[in-house]
Structure 1
Amino acid sequence: MKKLITTLFLFASFWANSQTSLAGYWYGVAYVGTGTSANSYLVELIINQNGNTVNGIVNYYFRNTFRSFKTNGSYSADDRQLSLYNIPITYHGSNSRMEVDCPMDFIANLRVARAGSNLNGRFVSKENYRYTCPEIVFDLQLNKDANNQDSILTALRQFKETYQVWSPSATDTLVSTVVLQRPITNFVVNDRYKQRENVILDEIEVEADSVRVDLYDNGEVDGDSVSLFFNDKLLASSQRLSTKAIHMDLKLDSLKEVNEIAMFADNLGSIPPNTALMIVYDGRQRHEIRLSSNLSQNGVLRIKKKKKPNQ
């Protein structure tokens, strides 16, 4: 009997420890304040854990910039809280002429379920910046497919601090695919699209009745494949993201207050999640939007028609 109890205790301890491991690749969307889509960050966290000590890499996209930093912190198993310190986060009010950093700490709680593990929390400003830099809330998911200790250690070993500003150059404006605005049939993609959560990543206002849309891979071309929906109707399936544009000319539905473009992930490429740069042009203004999607969420851009002054 004692042997049985001891065995069960050891098994329970092993199971608990395996469920609270932080090591791996985490990714998701972070929002300024309480979750509005006006200013969003695409975040990836690579974590290596040694007991209560953690170190890793924080990568994030904000508007047209990509940044990458090494970080250190601690993990409390009692309350499952992860803390990472002194991470420079681009201030949400920055513009292309002046970009300002907010020194912030990463505070998150680990939630474990059969469906997957999540880190729910926020970036919190240092004391001297509390009234300038608001909290940035996030929900990061563990990528089970990339949860390999060797790849984590390799990423940490090969890390170089990165600050990149990317936008398509003259050679990037080549078009690989032209998508016509007419629904196509793919029962598998349609069914899976409906099963996933639509996450509003950005919202823009345009003046024209139609827009030109170009979609590119947002970083390293890694085999991302996506399907595109306009107002929940499938327009293109299994399109490979690259430095050449997937091009669409879309007429907005005047009967709708909001039109939506959704990006559905057919796969995750070699570097999850799927991230894309979408450029929307209404004849007067060019908008650059970062979209992200994974196997449980579709990234969505909302487009509103700007009201005329007399309306």
Structure 2
Amino acid sequence: MKILLAFSFLFTTLIFQCAGQDVSGYWKGTLSMRGCFPENNIELQINAKGNVLAGDSYHYQDIDNYVKKNFRGSFDRISKKLTLQEGSVTTYHIPQRCVICVKNFDLTYYREGNKETLKGYWSGNVLNTLQSCDGGNIILTRIRESAFKEVPEIKVDTGTIRLDFYDNAQIDGDSITVLVDKQVVMTHQRLSAKPLTTYVKIDLNNTFHEIEMVAENLGSIPPNTAILIITAGKSRHSLTLSSSEVKSARVRIVYDEEITKGGETIAALLKREPDQ
């Protein structure tokens, strides 16, 4: 009887341990493949609801070279196996010579002491083709917070976007230079209560723009801070940007076709002239 009770307790404990596994969180690893960069960092941001998995994947070299995709999958808590399939590309910023590989992952969850890992194999195809990517083994380790410091993104549904830069709070003599996709659009302009205004347009072949604010001086109260108001159609977004002599501030504007449903097409919107 004691042996039977002990076995029953052990079996119940194992069931609760399996049921208690939570793979939600950040997982970081590297993979090697032919292409633009010999080694890519990869981060999976997993959200688990029961046995259903969803989230975002980042394949990146640095904040200037990355691809962001969403994924869906499943988790078998008994076998500890995960299957993930990447779906649509939500954002990318890579050289034109590069191609995007949409991947599938077959992984197994392991825990040794306080270290948690996902080990397995990945495969994939070049985006919108049947051409296979180089598959291979992969190991990802759980991390506490995202290792990829993404530039903030604003999703818009119109072809013409207005950018207004204001000094933040006290007017202290800050001056800035602003670049759009690394091209200077205003230089050595002093921030004040009156906006510094410029416009950008979404391109059908390049559905996002990167806005960079460079501090030309720090004013009397460092660092150089500004309020950026982004007006896109009927939507309005407010951001606080902070830059210094060694670090600029960035934000990306991304066209999201899901926002424009039942309205004008982006091609029609691109023909609009900005309100002066």
Who wins on radius of gyration, i.e. which is larger? 2
> TM-score normalized by structure 1?
0.40
TM-score (norm 2): 0.44
Of Structure 1 and Structure 2, the greater helix share is in 1
